[in-house]
Amino acid sequence: METKYIFVTGGVSSSLGKGIIAASLGKLLQSRGFRVTIQKLDPYINVDPGTLNPYEHGECYVTVDGHEADLDLGHYERFLNIETHKTNNITTGRIYQNVIEKERRGDYLGKTVQIIPHITDEIKEHITSLGKTGQFDFVITEIGGTVGDIESLPFIESMRQLRWEMGRNCCCIHLTYVPYLAAAKELKTKPTQHSVKDLQQEGVQPDIIVLRTEHEIPTEMRRKVALFCNVDEDAVIQSIDASTIYRVPLNMLEEGLDRVVLRKTGLDVSSVPEADLASWNAFLKKLEGAQEEVKIALVGKYVQLQDAYKSIREALSHAAAYNNRKLNLTSILSDDINAENVQQLADFQGIVIAPGFGNRGVEGKLQAIRFARENKIPCFGICMGMQCMAIEFARDVLGYADANSTEFDEHTTHNIIDLMEAQKRTINKGGSMRLGAYPCQLKEGSRVRKIYACEKIQERHRHRYELNHSYQQEMKEHGLICSGINPDSGLTEIIELQDHPWFIGTQFHPEYSSTVLHPHPLFLSFMQTLVTKK
C-alpha cells in the first residue's frame, strides 16, 4: 500500500500528551498488522537537545545511531517496541543549518533563499524520507509546540502543503484541552474552538480532534465541537486522564481513534484485522494488578523535574510490573545528601544513582553509594552513577582520599575517571562524546554475563569521561571488577562489586532499551533482587 502520513498537532496548552497520543495510535495501527514509525518535529532553534539543561527540556534521549533526541522518541520505542534513528527527530535548528549549508555550496543557483519554498521543502523532504524507504505503511509525525506559536509556523505550512499534495494519504489530528471551571461546574469548549480557528487560519483543517480532559465529555458537547470545528461527530475523540500512560492505547481503541484514521486515509476498516493487544493487556494487568510495593530511591541532581529521568522511571516501572510489584519511587536531590542525613536511605529496598554532567551534587551521590555498599543495599549506577561508584570505591576502599574525575577536579592526583587521550585532543566537546550503541564483551563468570545470558551485547551511550585503565587491577584485587569491556577500545562498560547482593554500574544507559514488551534484563535482575532479598 502507499504510505499514509498522520500529523499530530497541539493547541490551547503544551504538555497535553501529543507524544502519548501519537505512540498510542501507532500501537493500535501496529496491532492491526501495519508497519508504523513515528517522528518528532521540534520547533526550537537548538540543533538537537544535547546541549539543553534537563530542567529546560526533560530527558535527552539517545537513538542507536547516536542521535540526541527529544524524549518523545522514548515513548515511541517503549510503545511500539521499535528502534528510532536520527531521521525520526529534527529541529528548526537542523532544518536551517541544512538550508544554510546548501546555500553556501551554491545549491540554490543564486536564488533568494526564503521560508517558502526552501525551508518548507527541507521540512517536507525530512517528513517524507521515512515513507520513501518503502518500510512503513504509516508515518506518524508529531509537531512540537502549540498551534499559534511563531516557532511552529514553518512546520504547519509544510503540513498544509503535504495535505494538498497527498490528498487522502494524509490526515491531521489536533489535540486540545477542555478545561473544567469548578465555580461554574462546567466544561468549556471555547479554547478548543479558538485553537482550531488558529489552525484553520494557517490553512489546515483538522480531520480528527482529540479532547484532553479530566472529566467525561457528554455527547452533546462533542456534537458542539464537531459543528463548530467542521469535523465528523465520530472524529471528536475524548482522551480522559488515565491511571497510567500505558492505558491510553486501550482508551483510544475504545474511542475508535484507529478506525477513524483508517477511514480518513481511504482504507476499508472491515478488511483490516482487529487490533491484537493480548501482550499489551497482559503487561497492563501486571502493572495495575500489583498490590505489594517495592520502595526505591532515585538519587540525582535533576529530580525536581520528573521528565529529566523519564526513561529510568519507565524502565523501573516495567521491571516492577514483571516482578508483580507496584513501583514506589522516591526522588532524592543528591545536593541535599550528606553524612548526617544519608541514613534516610535505609528506608529503601534499592537505590539508583542517576546520570548527569558537572560536579554539582556529586558528593551527595558518593555518600549514597558508600551507604549502599557498606549496608548491602542493592545499588544501580548509570553513566555518571557508575563513575561515582568507582570514585567512592577508590576513596573509601583503596584509600585514595582525593580520588576523583577530572571532570570535577582536573588537578586530582588519582584520576579514577578521565578523558582518554583521543578525547583530550578533541577541541569540540560534542565531538568527544560517545553517543549511540557500542559493543560490550561480558566476562565469563560475572554476574552481568548471567543476567544477559549471552557473551556480547550492544548498549547506548551518552558521555565523555571514562574509567581509567590503570586502576582496574587494583580495584579487582579489592573486589570491584570490570565485568563489561568494549572489545574495540578496551574501555570499561560495566563494573560490579563481589560479595554484595547487587552492586552494578554501567557506563551506558540501559534504560533507553527497555520497552513494554521487552523490559531490560538489568532492571529486571535489580528488581528481582529487591523482591527476593530478605
C-alpha span between 139 and 408 (Å, rounded):
44
Q: Give the type of residue at 431.
A: G
Return the DSSP state at 447: H
Radius of gyration of the chain measured on its C-alpha atoms:
25
CA geometry: angle at 275 spanning 272 and 278, to 5°?
A: 150
Say which residues have a Cβ less than 8 Å from residue 431's Cβ, sequence separation at least 6: none
Q: From CA 39, how far away is CA 63, in angstroms rounded? A: 12
Of 118, 414, 509, 520, the catalytic one is 509
* Residue bearing cell 457528554: 218
- Closest by CA position to 166, among listed 189, 196, 138, 199: 138
Active site residue 157: no
3-state secondary structure of 61: strand
Question: Cell match 546548501: residue?
Answer: 102
* Cβ-count burial 100-130 (b if 16+ within 10 Å, e if not): eeeeeeeeeeeeeeeeeebbbebbbebbbeb
Three-class SS of residue 347? helix
Pairwise CA distance, residues 472 & 393, whole Å: 12
Contact at 8 Å (CB) between 117 and 154? no
Find where cell 550528606 sits.
338
How many C-beta atoms lie closer than 10 Å to residue 285's C-beta? Answer: 11
* Helical (H) or strand (E) element with 361: none
509 catalytically annotated: yes
Catalytic residue among 157, 459, 493, 511: 511
CA count, 13 A, side-chain hemisphere, 194: 10
Catalytic residue among 172, 383, 440, 482: 383
List CB contacts of 204: < 8 A, sequence separation 6 or more. Answer: 9, 156, 159, 160, 163, 172
- Tell me how far the alpha carbon of residue 169 is from its chain's centroid: 29
DSSP states of 190-252 as a string?
HHHHHHHHHHHHTT---SEEEEEESSPPPHHHHHHHHHHHT--GGGEEEEE--SSGGGHHHHH
Active site residues: 383, 509, 511
